[in-house]
Chains A and B, each alone.
Chain A
Amino acid sequence: MSLIIESVSKRFGDVQALEDISLEIKPGEVFGLLGANGAGKTTAMRIVLDILRPDSGTIAWNGRFNRDLPRETWGYLPEERGLYAKMNVLEQLVFFAKLHGVRSKVAEREARGWLERFRIPEYADRRAEQLSKGNQQKIQFIAAILHDPQVLLMDEPFTGLDPVNVALLKEAFLEIKERGKTLIFSTHQMETVEELCESIAIVDRGRVVVSGSVRDVRRSGGRQMVRLAVEGDPEMAWLAELDGVRVTRRGQDYTEMQVTSGHNPEVVLHAALGRDLKVTHFEIADPSLEQIFIEHVGQIDTTERTLAPKVPA
């Protein structure tokens, strides 16, 4: 009883967009899809939604193939935001809900409720083109969830929102999760993932590099991070003598180092105490997702490697 993506491959001409992707996403989970631009996140979502057909592989939700599922199973917030510019906000929300089989009256009530919650009730009767981009994005989010879908897929839902609206959207996420819905979203903002997601998958060039619960992924490298601060020895040159320890960051507050698997991180503490240093901070942690990501993908790639040529702005 979950969303099972099994050995999905998809090729566009010369580009292998997805290569043998397999994932299992549990119901009621918040799942993060991490990857650089062009890694295949959007294609994966479109295939799950049955907007695109994979070259091979299957997608099943609760034991039924996605081709046999009614469309209202899914809610989708596409990466490319768009609304009917000349149509008023409430009308288009009701229109999209009706397409998913929601009755007009219910749709209107729900839509007004969500506009209220996003603090934009006065926009109900405005045309979409009169709204700011951030507000249009909120309208699109409402359009994606108005029919109460079982699985909500969102492509970069947070980009372009100010901190206040990011917080509002996160609240909405949690409420939808509490209703027992499954949320899947793609992003390259690691903090958001660590804050919201229970499970993640890191995708690179059409392949799943690593996936699982956030904890498992962070421990996937077998390394641990140690943060240490002592009085009177900011250099801590002796750290270089320790086996399996590599300093990754020197800061005013603390020095961060990586301890390779098989070595006990407490060695660092013992070494410090053995040198009669006064330890003010000692912390053992898993590597951050960002470190894992960089480790697997190389670096956070900002250059576009998008498959379909984009329309110049």
Chain B
Amino acid sequence: MKGWRTLFPNAWYVAVREYRARARTRSFVVGTGLLALIAFAATQLPVLIDYSMTTSQTRIAVVAEAAGMPSDSLAVLDGQLNGQAADTNAHKAFVLSWLSAGDDAAAQKDLEKGTYDVLLIVARDAATNDLGFTVRTDIPQDGSAVASITHALLSLEIDDRLFRAGTSTAALTAPFSLTIGPANATSAGTNSISHQVSADLLSTGLIMLIFMAIITYGQWVAMSVAEEKGSRVMELMLNATTPLQMLAGKVLGNGAAGLTQYGIILAAVVGGLLAQGQIHKAVLGTSSGAPFGGMDPTVLGAFAVLFVLGFLMYSLLYAALGSLVSRQEDVQSAATPLTMLVMTGYLMSVFGLQAIDESWVKIASFVPFFSPYLMLARVSVGHVEMWEFGLSALMLLISVGIALFVAARIYSAGVLLYGQRVSLRQIFLAIRVSR
């Protein structure tokens, strides 16, 4: 194989041609634009959720028929129902209208007209002297709004009982000491739900990115090989280049085109996340939490290494399979075994994330076909030693070398085989005699 010595510049020329041919297609331009748009929209989802929450308001009419209620009853209800928003100008999920005793008939009419969503009648039980509540509403009785109201009423009841027992309202609302810290007192980081959720999303997202890249861009490589065979340009190319130059050029060119698409989508995501605060403010008047909370440079570094190596290995094999068919229509079926392998690895990582310390996950994270997913899963959870990652990456790198050798052999034999189906025997025969 003299091609090893003279890989460049021809591999580079092939790569540039592949890149241009790919990036100029309408499907690439439209697809990239569409995906970027979807990605940007997805980053604005929290804004949308917050927005939809602000537009829903539960209007409650409170008819206080009971005598001798604590003076801060309204404040207690408001505080319980609206939380922090009770003290600020922010949007309130519940709007309370405090009506005088005897207004219940009018309030009942307003409730039926739809001016109020909930009518709450507070009365005092003659026997026990406790407060009794009647709630009339058509909103779902097992919904969160009714649950919140029930919870707030419980507080009001306790408030009233303590008040009657002689505790002052000031004493009832006096501040108390509360400290929340991490399990390890010396740990600097604080944890939050959004932090954890974004870390989880990030690791599954990154694994998905690898999966999508291999499936999509690997097939591009196979398609482009089959296309050259189908259009018979292959015969011209065979005299102009060596199979190895062609193979390397194709993988690099299509990989670069794929990375361009990824770059644009990622830019849309990052831009969307950065703009999220501004948009949130513009739409809702408040800013949202930090969007990059879960991003860990270690995970991103591991992602870069595993992404590149995994893509190289798989796309070389895709190229080899693409060289065995004569028409683009046959690429899908020829590539099926490899696609199954790619899917298997991905599914393993989906289950693996739930059982990250199981031994099968550990073993699979060293198997080159699966390590791009499973090692990344382990790194993102943080349950991995440095040497483990190094070993896994090294084995993947060696596999890339083996894949290059095998693919070049199959490729140089396959590109000259024309026919409906190529048998394994034919491949081995051809590999043996090819250059």
- Which positions in A face B, CB cutoff 8 Å? 13, 46, 49-53, 55, 67, 71, 74-76, 78-87, 95-96, 98-100, 140, 143-144, 308-311
- Which positions in B face A, CB cutoff 8 Å? 2, 9-10, 13-14, 17, 21, 24-25, 231-242, 326-327, 416-420, 429, 433-435
Contacts of B240 in A (CB 8 A): 71, 96, 99-100
Contacts of A96 in B (CB 8 A): 236, 240
Scoring A52, A53, A86 by chain B CB atoms within 10 A of each residue's CB, the highest score goes to A52
Asked if B420 and A82 sit within 8 Å, CB to CB, the answer is no
Contacts of A83 in B (CB 8 A): 231, 233, 236
Q: A31 CB to closest chain B CB, in angstroms? A: 18
Asked if A49 and B419 sit within 8 Å, CB to CB, the answer is no
With A53-B435, A76-B239, A86-B21 already in contact, the answer to whether A309 and B231 are too (CB < 8 A) is: no
Asked if A78 and B17 sit within 8 Å, CB to CB, the answer is no
Contacts of B10 in A (CB 8 A): 99
With A308-B417, A309-B418 already in contact, the answer to whether A80 and B21 are too (CB < 8 A) is: no
| Separation of A201 and B231 alpha carbons in the complex (Å) | 31
Asked if A81 and B417 sit within 8 Å, CB to CB, the answer is no
Query: Can you name 7 A-B residue pairings with CB atoms under 8 Å?
Result: A81-B232, A82-B234, A87-B17, A99-B13, A99-B237, A99-B240, A309-B420
- Majority SS at the chain A contact face: loop
Contacts of A80 in B (CB 8 A): 232, 235
> Which residue from A50, A53, A81, A144 sits with its C-beta under 8 Å from B433?
A53
Contacts of B24 in A (CB 8 A): 86
Contacts of B235 in A (CB 8 A): 76, 78-80, 82
> Which residue from A49, A99, A144, A311 sits with its C-beta under 8 Å from B326?
A311
Contacts of A71 in B (CB 8 A): 239-242
| Separation of A190 and B9 alpha carbons in the complex (Å) | 42
A-B pair number, CB within 8 angstroms: 81
Known: A80-B232, A95-B13. 10 other contacts (CB 8 A): A49-B238, A52-B434, A75-B239, A76-B235, A76-B239, A78-B235, A78-B236, A79-B235, A99-B237, A310-B418
Closest 6 CB pairs of A and B: A82-B232, A78-B235, A76-B239, A99-B240, A80-B232, A82-B233
Q: Which residue from chain A places its CB closest to the CB of B2 in the assembled complex?
A: A67
Scoring A49, A95, A99, A308 by chain B CB atoms within 10 A of each residue's CB, the highest score goes to A99
Q: B225 CB to closest chain A CB, in angstroms? A: 13
Q: B327 CB to closest chain A CB, in angstroms? A: 7
Q: B21 CB to closest chain A CB, in angstroms? A: 7
| Separation of A143 and B235 alpha carbons in the complex (Å) | 12
| Separation of A118 and B69 alpha carbons in the complex (Å) | 104
Q: Which residue from chain B places its CB closest to the CB of A82 in the assembled complex?
A: B232
Asked if A85 and B232 sit within 8 Å, CB to CB, the answer is no
Contacts of B21 in A (CB 8 A): 84, 86-87
Asked if A78 and B232 sit within 8 Å, CB to CB, the answer is yes
Q: B257 CB to closest chain A CB, in angstroms? A: 14
> Which residue from B231, B239, B417 sits with its C-beta under 8 Å from A49?
B239
Contacts of A86 in B (CB 8 A): 21, 24-25
Asked if B419 and A82 sit within 8 Å, CB to CB, the answer is no
Contacts of A309 in B (CB 8 A): 418-420
Contacts of A84 in B (CB 8 A): 17, 21, 231, 233
Asked if A311 and B13 sit within 8 Å, CB to CB, the answer is no
Asked if A51 and B239 sit within 8 Å, CB to CB, the answer is yes
Contacts of A95 in B (CB 8 A): 13, 17
| Separation of A311 and B327 alpha carbons in the complex (Å) | 9
Asked if A308 and B419 sit within 8 Å, CB to CB, the answer is yes
| Separation of A13 and B435 alpha carbons in the complex (Å) | 17
| Separation of A98 and B240 alpha carbons in the complex (Å) | 9
| Separation of A82 and B240 alpha carbons in the complex (Å) | 14
Q: Which residue from chain B places its CB closest to the CB of A309 in the assembled complex?
A: B419
Q: Which residue from chain B places its CB closest to the CB of A13 in the assembled complex?
A: B429
Q: B321 CB to closest chain A CB, in angstroms? A: 18
